[in-house]
Amino acid sequence: MSTTNPTEATPPDAPEFGLAVEWDDRTAIVVVSGEVDMLTAPRLQERLLEVLERSPAVLLIDLSGTDLFASAGLSAVVAAYQSAGDRTSIRVVSTHRTTERPFRMTALDRKIALFDSREAALRAGS
């Protein structure tokens, strides 16, 4: 009989959430889908920091599949930005108001570049 650690179990009412990491040479692309809130943001932050340990030249966070982006998600991106320092450029794909607005309202779009497509984000700086 297998047991599940209750701290690792996903609650039945947990929001839909997905993360995938793709690599394109020295560019890490973290694809986020579903809802990013106080329940899921810690997983996003953990994955972003894990990716940064590999020192990519660019960390592209693709939020185009995100339905909800709460302040906890913004905090996760800020933690990655602070961890990246000058060695990794952080770029965010934001295709709708749900993800764009928090960056603009907090003026983080002045520090973290926002793009309306993955292609535009990948072309930037090349």
- pLDDT (tens digit, 9 = 90+) per residue, 40-96? 999 999 999 999 999 999 999 999 999 999 999 999 999 999 999 999 999 999 999
What Rg, from alpha-carbon coordinates, does the chain have? 15
At residue 125, the pLDDT reads: 72
Angle between helices 41-52 and 71-84 (to 10 degrees): 10
Residue pair 106/11 in contact (Cβ under 8 Å)? The answer is no
Task: Please classify residue 13 by burial: count the beta carbons closer than 10 Å to its beta carbon, then call 0-12 exposed, 13-18 middle and 19+ buried.
Answer: exposed
How confident is the prediction for the chain on average, in pLDDT? Answer: 89
Q: Which single residue is written with the structure tokens 């570049």? A: 113
Judge if pTM exceeds 0.85.
Answer: yes
* Homologous superfamily of 17-123: STAS domain (3.30.750.24)
Which residue ranges make up each domain of the chain? 17-123
